[in-house]
Amino acid sequence: MPKNSLPPAYSIRAVKWLWFTLWQQMMSRMAPRDKMGAYIRPESEFRHFLGNEPDNPYQPASGRYRLYVGLGCPWAHRTLIVRALKGLEEAIAVSLVTPAGDRGIWIIHQPEENCTTLPDLYRLAQPNYRGRCTVPVFWDTETKTIVNNESGDIIKILNADFNSLATNPELNLYPESLQTEIDQLREKIYHSVNNGVYRCGFAQTQQAYNQAVTELFNTLAELEDLLTHQPYLCGETITLVDVCLFTTLFRFDLVYHGLFKCNYRRIVDYPNLSAYVARIYALPGVAATCNAQQIKQDYYGNLFPLNPGGIIPIGPELS
């Protein structure tokens, strides 16, 4: 050992303490937590709806509205799938954004409304906005504002409010007879699966992680059983809750299994869930919304606190 050098144990402890301190600071910015160290997802702030009422400023119209989405984001992916299933490609335009990991923001591919980033767009809608700038964004090109940035609301809007403009208007992903069942399942799946994978990946204590990962795989087991005798979660036809589950399951083996420590089992280890993912993927228009390579790039390449080296894994092999 060179003279006056620190023993390896001291160096390791010092570096470990420094990295852990910096990791906590970065995680607190990326993923707010509670006292137990569990991830808390902030609420969306723009929650307006469309309607034909004279006093509603947001009336359905072809070409008026635009979706801002990131291909890696499961919440934005929901809106692309419903848009495709309903046949709204001609009525509602899409603008792509990509994450800039070193800046912590979304970049707009082709600048629009004199905006080059998503924060620019949010500030155009609300000049003093200081909240999170997330996708999806349902944008009104007429009033230059954000109608809604909550994916659960947007998919309901796309399902119900543009039937006169849709090429597949007869498809109803939220039928009145199933709404109670859909809502109950969506709530459960949101907590333990959709947001559950993030609660695993963004957990900042062992206790928080253990709770999240247990709830996640308990729910996956229940869903596997549910799909034993029916093709979709609510029976014979696809609904909004299937769309919500699919976008998480499609990403599961790609990124959540490894990067988010959801590695107890893979989706391919569940026969019914695997067949379910393949079934939805095969529906007209859905495959075109799925970009596995972009998903891996966005997660592994931009979530620096979880993957400091930025190395993108080659697998898994997809069939």
Residues 145 and 239 in one domain: no
Helix (H) or strand (E) holding 109: strand 105-112
Residues 42 and 153 in one domain: yes
Residue 23: pLDDT band (50, 70, 90) is low
Contact status, residue 143 vs residue 134, Cβ threshold 8 Å: no
Rounded to whole angstroms, how far apart are CA atoms 166 and 28? 42
Domain residues for the domain of 188 are 176-289
Residues 164 and 90 in one domain: yes
Residues 46 and 161 in one domain: yes
Residues 204 and 222 in one domain: yes
Picking from 171, 188, 208, the residue at the C-terminal end of a domain is: 171
Examine residue 4 and state whether it is found in any structural domain, yes or no. no
> Structure tokens of 245?
């589950």
Q: In CATH, what number is assigned to the domain containing residue 101?
A: 3.40.30.10
Domain count, the chain: 2
List of residues 6+ apart from 29 with CB closer than 8 A? 104
Examine residue 21 and state whether it is found in any structural domain, yes or no. no
Question: Could you read off the pLDDT of 33-57 as tens digits, one per residue?
Answer: 776 767 777 788 899 999 888 889 9
Residues 145 and 37 in one domain: yes
Question: Could you read off the pLDDT of 235-289 as tens digits, one per residue?
Answer: 999 999 999 999 999 999 999 999 999 999 999 999 999 999 999 999 999 999 9
Residues 121 and 234 in one domain: no
User: Helix, strand, or coil here: 212?
Assistant: helix
63: alpha, beta or left? (left if phi > 0; alpha if psi -120 to 50): left
Rounded to whole angstroms, how far apart are CA atoms 64 and 83? 15
pLDDT > 90 in the chain, percent: 77
Picking from 140, 171, 202, the residue at the C-terminal end of a domain is: 171
Residues 55 and 162 in one domain: yes
Examine residue 160 and state whether it is found in any structural domain, yes or no. yes
Helix (H) or strand (E) holding 156: helix 151-160
Residue 125's alpha-carbon distances to 55, 141, 142, 207, in angstroms, are 20, 11, 12, 40
Return the pLDDT at 52: 82
34: alpha, beta or left? (left if phi > 0; alpha if psi -120 to 50): beta
Examine residue 185 and state whether it is found in any structural domain, yes or no. yes
Residues 143 and 212 in one domain: no
Residues 71 and 166 in one domain: yes
Picking from 131, 146, 171, the residue at the C-terminal end of a domain is: 171
What letter would DSSP give residue 253? I
Catalytic residues: 73, 198
